[in-house]
Structure 1
Amino acid sequence: MAILPALPGVEVRVVVGGEPAREWPMPYDPEALWNSEHPEVPRTINYIESMSGSRFSVTASLYSGHGISDPAPAHANQAFPEGTDMVAFRVTIDGVFFHSFGIYINETDTKVFGDRYFRMPNGNIRKQFPVFSNIITTEEASRAAIEADTARIRTLGKIDIVVSAIQVTGEMPNIAYPNDSAASPDMEVAMKVHNLYAQHLTHATQYEEEPQDGTPGLKTYNKLATLGEFQFQYSSHRPVVGRNGFTLAEPMPAVESTNLLPQHHYPEEEMADGTPMVDLTGNDE
């Protein structure tokens, strides 16, 4: 599990396919592609191994001795604001807000969060689950697609959890996001962009859906302070950080899957007699 010395008693981890993901701490590197909205708060960055087609979730635990009370004292370089009654966890996946959840500070609790709710145009509710999906590189990319992929490639393969101190003010029952926010992202990435900026990247996140009756209520709150950030980078390959990469503390297990990632989409062509073929040479001649 990931921990922050400035947030004693708060632990966050990612669960992949029902099992806690193995974590490898990533060293600080000024060239890393993290683009945090809260650069001033303490953070931890870990690498986890993703598996194609596996659902994943975020687990947060709040243990006794977390040092938060009301009124809250200063503790381990972190002053918790007076009035704090819940620790909130805001989850962003691949640069897109996923959902948020919280744990009351008078509880020692573990919560697993791996779904979100959407209201369809007909009024039905659907539940979505994040799934690691194959990145597919393609040579058939327009200039506009290359520019768009260059902008989004820096956000892929990342799970961010921002921890905040909040004061609960009420409840909002039967909440579901509108359907226009429910679409899964495109998995195709221009090969040129992938090779330049993210050769280690093998997966991004899509969503599986199931029908759902009703939705849980949400809390309304006042945000008092941002406390810290847990960042996870995921891939089925060893990550690249900086110019020379880095060595993991423990070797990764051998890849048993025959599905080598990322996949690549080659342009289809035809011979003079109309027989379809695929050019694997990469040459234009």
Structure 2
Amino acid sequence: MTEQAQALIDKLQVRPGEKARLRDRDPRDKSLFGDQEQTKAETAAIAKDIDALQDRLYAEGSRALLVILQGTDTSGKDGTIRSVFNATGPLGVSVHAFGPPTKLELEHDYLWRVHAACPRRGTIGIFNRSHYEDVLIGKVRKFAPEAAIEQRYEQINAFEKMLVENGTTILKFMLHISKDEQKERLQARLDDPTKNWKFNPGDLDDREHWDDYQEAYETMLNRCSTEWAPWHVVPADRKWVRNAAIAAIVKGTLEAMDPQYPEVSWKPGDFTVA
């Protein structure tokens, strides 16, 4: 793992047992990066490195990487996926966006649909929102009883530990933006006709509960940042910083996993292509 990736992890990771406070983390922080244009170029190069590492992971076929992107509306989950994984071969990557549960999904436990979407061995899976919605919007909007919400933190930790013990490395990123930045991004969706479709009036309802969501996120970070699946709080007001940080950590994690091409039982010289 590069020194930069380790420095980012050290700064952004929520240590297990740590009491995370979002107000103590600057959503506009760019201290670990230099020039903006140079950083963007480096991020594009890292995206290609991720593709090469994913090719090895796919060939090895024995482990998986799950990347969880969680954040308020307009925090940049889609933009992160486009920037960090735009060079990665489509066969080895799956993206799953979790919306409101369907009638069938509601007939099962809340983790049922999540487990079904987890990446198979040899692939990278990306969750755009995730099972954490069930302790975020579920908590703020009271979609489940308080006692049920309380149970879910340890259930989620146990679920993720099971995934890790069965060969899935988990990276969790909370995209941390300010209320002012969210206002600008929501307004941009109203001002640009090509972005009108992205605007959801319900986003304004959630915005009225900003403080409640921030509290719910802090509880999530404090209760579900574990040794096997720690959270990283990524400053996301600056899109280029957000993308660069996540790209570097994803690449560093894949390098630490060190997937290998499998050995074959024959030698290339044994065959001739007619």
TM-score range, shorter chain: under 0.3
Which has the larger share of helix? 2
Q: Which of 1 and 2 has higher RCO (CA within 8 Å, sep 6+)?
A: 2
TM-score scaled by length of structure 1: 0.24
TM-score scaled by length of structure 2: 0.24
Higher gyration radius (CA): 1
